Amino acid sequence: MSKFYRIQRLPPYVFEEVNRIKATARKAGADIIDLGMGNPDLDAPQHVKDKLIETITKTRIDRYSASKGIPGLRRAQANYYARRFGVKVNPDTQVVVTLGSKEGFANMAQAITGPGDVVVVPDPSYPIHAFGFLMAGGTIRSISAEPTPNFFAQLERAIIHSIPKPIAVVVCYPSNPTALVASLDFYKDLVHFAKKHEIFILSDLAYAELYFNDEPPPSVLQVEGAMDVTVEFTSMSKTYSMAGWRMGFAVGNERLISALTRVKSYLDYGAYTPIQVAASAALNGPDDCIHEMRAIYKKRRDVMVDSFAKAGWQLPVPNASMFVWAKVPEKFADLGSLEFSKLMIEKAEVAVAPGIGFGEQGEGYVRLALVENEQRIRQAARGFKRLMDAADGSLHNVVRLAR
């Protein structure tokens, strides 16, 4: 039998190799500290859970919901954009509720991508940014992920040398996996570029509220005229620690939102209504919980950087997101990110995400997530120290350990 078309277009999922080794180790009794997946360990705010429970007890609540989201939730998201970014959006025509930002991106890809259409995607980047379009029949052109002038130089080359011309460019700041943050000036240049070359901007802003200094990350929609060419995806997964609730949003250009809404109408009936009601309570409620979670992640970041430095691994200090994007330690650099990640599980009992899973330019790096408490992070650093000591500066020992 011939292979399925879309499956053929997908490379092996490298994270699955790491997950398999992790599961095997745990089955054998190992206490694996999982810093690999960005899966929040904190609880959702109590007032949000209370609203969910309250709503579930009502009658006629178990019916199909609204695919584009209940009106109250779309209004709540519009109000969030007004408060946080000073951006006015129409909840009826410029907001759609998605089953998480990941699914929203994939659905948008289906809505706007034809066979052979080119989309420009940063490398390294969150996998759905590229593979959503590949599964929809599109073609990916990779450029630098750093929000610098070089980004626009590469984007210009992509416009000139891609046939057909790209239909859209994807951006993600604060970035998953690199934790880079873009400035409003960068977004101004991006909107100007997109209008000049008549392409769309698809922005992933899932980590907008996880920042660790006094400068909240901006939205590209703050730029005048951005609404003409942009849709932005946000998520409640990290902001409110509601990852398993699968609740996100797309906000922006009416034409793109309309296309996404139409595709979704064929694919789903929307999230469970009580979840949408509870999500509305989160967006309309007090933001103390956001400040508390942000403080916890910042403390974890500081503990991770400090404890791993003492163990012999200098990690960069991210200004935002829930990730640390670090070079594979020099002693293990020749192994590559995937083999190093396997070695970390087997010898240090710590799971990290191999950088190659985020794109070709991710090779040589790993991503560590701030999803364990401070004690467990220090324990992970001690596990890494054991690995360093076992390698003992010898390339022979490194190769032996990897086997």
Give the pLDDT of the chain (403 residues) as one tens digit per residue. 567 888 887 877 788 888 999 999 999 999 999 999 999 999 999 999 999 999 999 999 999 999 999 999 999 999 999 999 999 999 999 999 999 999 999 999 999 999 999 999 999 999 999 999 999 999 999 999 999 999 999 999 999 999 999 999 999 999 999 999 999 999 999 999 999 999 999 999 999 999 999 999 999 999 999 999 999 999 999 999 999 999 999 999 999 999 999 999 999 999 999 999 999 999 999 999 999 999 999 999 999 999 999 999 999 999 999 999 999 999 999 999 999 999 999 999 999 999 999 999 999 999 999 999 999 999 999 999 999 999 876 655 666 676 6
332-338-339 Cα angle (round to 5): 50
Give the single-character DSSP code of 366.
Answer: E
CA proximity to 29, closest of 342, 368, 339, 349: 349
* Cα gap 399→325, rounded to integer Å: 24
pTM of the entire predicted model: 0.94
- With contact defined as beta carbons under 8 Å apart, do 239 and 290 qualify? yes
Token output for 145: 């992920």
CA proximity to 354, closest of 10, 40, 16: 16
- With contact defined as beta carbons under 8 Å apart, do 373 and 41 qualify? yes
CA proximity to 227, closest of 95, 343, 320, 110: 95
* Cα gap 248→261, rounded to integer Å: 14
